[in-house]
């Protein structure tokens, strides 16, 4: 995979771009946001050090083309409102997993749909992916709606696939193929 540290994707209301050291306060705000963390597999961040470490880990991973994590910046006021990622990239199978999340205050305005349209277009057109998949908590209704709006199909239930807030839970798997994307994009 190519280096991802210079990616900038624009939509009518958003700029998707790498996170920088100065964005650590936003990362801390996101990873302590109760709505964002509700179905998360990690504990809320306890300090800015954890946010700094995430930004630095991402920077290194993006430089070597290991994964993409982009901050979602609202053009109107320059505020970061969320993140979206392509990870577990498999060049041989031309597939990747997608992840995403918004600050609670930025929900319900179509920002994530707009951002993911741009990220998926990049994945299918620029990276040549054939498949993008997602695994979500069965109770994560908002996330399921986001995937379905983008054309993802529900493919199955993975039993006891994760631990959310200390509780063993199933995951629901979703997939979107390049040929389905061409139909919806
Ligand atoms: C998943 C998540 C991003 C979905 O957020 P969201 O606000 O529902 O998604 P969008 O930003 O795409 O907004 C869509 C909603 O805005 C509404 N909307 C309002 N104005 C809009 C506009 N101008 N354009 C498009 N949609 C608009 C849509 O109708 C839709 O509402 P609905 O679902 O009630 O029909 C959010 O719930 C989240 O961050 N959850 C926590 C993290 C998480 O669980 N991530 C998934 C696991 S990886």
pLDDT of 160 over the 70 cut: yes
Closest ligand 1 atom number to CA of residue 98: 48
Contact (CB, 8 A) for 62 and 4? yes
Q: Give percent of the chain with pLDDT exceeding 90.
A: 91
**CATH code, domain carrying 117:** 3.40.630.30
Q: How many domains does the chain have?
A: 1
Mean per-residue pLDDT over the chain, rounded: 95
Least confident interval from 19-28, 121-130, 160-169: 160-169
**Ligand 1 atom 9 nearest Cα:** 112
Pocket of ligand 1 (CB under 6 A): 35-36, 39, 99-102, 107-113, 136, 140, 142-143, 145-146
- pLDDT at position 184: 60
Within a domain: residue 145? no
Q: 70 is in which domain, residue-wise?
A: 9-130
- pLDDT at position 164: 83
What does pTM read for this prediction?
A: 0.96
Residues 6+ apart with CB under 8 A from 43: none
Q: Give percent of the chain with pLDDT exceeding 70.
A: 98
pLDDT of 104 over the 80 cut: yes
Within a domain: residue 173? no
> How many angstroms separate the CA atoms of 176 and 185, rounded?
12
Within a domain: residue 142? no
- Rg over alpha carbons for the chain, rounded to the nearest Å, is 16
């Amino acid at each position: 995979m190519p280096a991802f540290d210079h990616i900038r994707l624009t939509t009518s209301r958003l700029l998707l771009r790498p996170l920088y050291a100065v964005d650590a306060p936003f990362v801390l705000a996101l990873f302590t946001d109760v709505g964002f963390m509700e179905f998360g597999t990690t504990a809320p961040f306890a300090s800015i050090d954890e946010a700094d470490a995430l930004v630095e880990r991402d920077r290194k991973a993006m430089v070597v083309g290991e994964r993409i994590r982009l901050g979602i910046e609202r053009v109107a006021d320059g505020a970061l409102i969320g993140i979206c990622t392509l990870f577990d990239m498999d060049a041989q199978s031309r597939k990747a997993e997608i992840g995403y999340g918004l600050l609670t205050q930025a929900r319900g305005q179509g920002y994530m749909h707009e951002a993911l349209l741009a990220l998926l277009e990049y994945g299918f057109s620029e990276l040549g992916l054939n498949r993008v998949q997602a695994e979500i908590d069965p109770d994560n209704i908002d996330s399921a709606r986001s995937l379905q709006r983008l054309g993802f199909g529900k493919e199955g239930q993975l039993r006891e696939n994760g631990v959310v807030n200390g509780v063993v839970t199933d995951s629901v798997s979703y997939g979107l193929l390049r040929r389905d994307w061409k139909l919806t994009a």
